[in-house]
């Protein structure tokens, strides 16, 4: 578990809660100063987390992507079977896809999805508050988006099954299907596909987040073209766009290389 922290804000508060929850309490955190960085983040992070983990503050001028890749390589230790979850808190003052695409976190997430053994977990918050609010969810439920029982879906399920602190894990399928529930190792919920996929996903997610004490972790299987080093398909992009600014929703991208 690794948090890339740009600030200690509401999104970072959620990221710390999530990392502790699914990682059994153990995770690392790194910060790379920028022009708008809070120079007191190291001390405030120590107070907020109780000193564990310490925030690894790198010298100004370092490239954030290279720093995170270096931390990932160290955590994996050269083992092919080790998966590192990089948690990226993103706080927005307003819902703007254009502004989100211009942030350093956007470029970082794209690069990490082409890195072997990495899952990217996006923890967003839309608020003008600059400091943690002092409250986090009580429950964490997971939904793996399952289009069909293929390799990316099985990889995403395997990843989800390995997480700790999960109160409920189920697959979620939209529209008609020609395969049976028994083809997946977790229960499957069917939801209607009414219009656009993104709107249908939001409808189901909001049923779950209607409980303010519940956070929903959507686990998204992604296909990666290793030759072109890019994501495949507009479906994935549409899902990410609709969930990026949604309260109490964490989006985990689990890549499978083609």
Q: Per-domain residue ranges for the chain?
A: 2-126, 139-257
What are 61-93's pLDDT values in tens digits? 899 999 999 999 999 998 888 999 999 999 888
19 touches 27 (CB < 8 A) = yes
Q: Which residues pair with 126 in a beta bridge?
A: 92
Query: How crowded is residue 216: how many other Cβ atoms within 10 Å of its Cβ?
Result: 25
Q: Nearest CA to 255 among 105, 147, 151?
A: 151
**Cα separation values, 160 from 73, 76, 212, 240, Å:** 22, 18, 23, 18
Class of domain 2-126: alpha beta
Total Cβ atoms within 10 A of residue 80: 7
Question: Do the domains 2-126 and 139-257 sit in the same CATH topology, yes or no?
Answer: yes
pLDDT digits (tens, 9 = 90+) for 116-134: 899 999 999 988 887 888 7
pLDDT for 251: 95
How would you class 198 by CB atoms within 10 Å of its CB: exposed for 0-12, middle for 13-18, buried for 19 or more? middle
pLDDT of residue 106: 83
How far are the Cα atoms of 83, 111, 117, 142 from residue 159, in angstroms, in the given order? 9, 20, 11, 11
User: What pTM, to 2 d.p., does this model score?
Assistant: 0.92
Asked if 166 contacts 204 with a C-beta cutoff of 8 angstroms, the reply is: no
The dihedral over CA atoms of 45, 243, 160, 216, expressed in degrees to the nearest 10, equals 70
Q: Which pLDDT tens digit goes with each residue over 27-57?
A: 999 999 887 777 789 899 999 999 888 999 9
Distance CA 40, CA 48 (A): 12
The mean pLDDT value for 237-249 works out to 86
Two tokens at 249? 């929703």
- Tell me the fold of 139-257: Rossmann fold (3.40.50)
- Give SS3 for 254: strand
Q: Which band of pLDDT confidence, cut at 50, 70 and 90, is reported for residue 233?
A: low
pLDDT band with cut points at 50, 70 and 90 for residue 213:
very high
* Residues in contact with 21: Cβ distance below 8 Å, sequence separation at least 6, in sequence order: 140, 164, 165
From the DSSP assignment, how many helices (H) and strands (E) are in the chain? Answer: 8, 11
């Amino acid at each position: 578990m690794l948090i890339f922290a740009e600030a200690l804000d509401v999104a970072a508060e959620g990221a710390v809660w999530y990392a502790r929850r699914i990682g059994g309490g153990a995770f690392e955190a790194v910060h790379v100063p920028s022009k708008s960085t809070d120079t007191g983040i190291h001390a405030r992070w120590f107070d907020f987390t109780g000193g564990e983990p310490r925030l690894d503050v790198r010298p100004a001028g370092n490239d954030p992507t290279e720093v995170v890749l270096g931390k990932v390589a160290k955590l994996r230790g050269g083992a092919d079977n080790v998966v590192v979850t990089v948690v990226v808190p993103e706080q927005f003052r307003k819902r703007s896809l254009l502004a989100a695409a211009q942030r350093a976190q956007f470029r970082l997430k794209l690069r990490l999805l082409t890195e072997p053994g990495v899952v990217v977990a996006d923890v967003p918050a839309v608020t003008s508050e600059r400091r943690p609010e002092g409250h986090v969810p009580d429950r964490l439920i997971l939904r793996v988006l399952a289009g069909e029982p293929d390799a990316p879906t099985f990889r995403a399920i395997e990843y989800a099954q390995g997480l700790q602190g999960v109160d409920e894990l189920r697959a979620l399928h939209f529209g008609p299907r020609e395969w049976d529930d028994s083809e997946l190792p977790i229960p499957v919920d069917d939801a209607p596909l009414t219009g656009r996929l993104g709107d249908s996903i939001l409808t189901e997610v909001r049923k779950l987040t209607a409980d303010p004490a519940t956070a929903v972790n959507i686990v998204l299987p992604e296909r990666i073209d290793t030759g072109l080093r890019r994501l495949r398909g507009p479906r994935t992009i549409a899902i990410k766009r609709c969930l990026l600014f949604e309260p109490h929703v964490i989006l985990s991208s689990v890549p499978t290389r083609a």
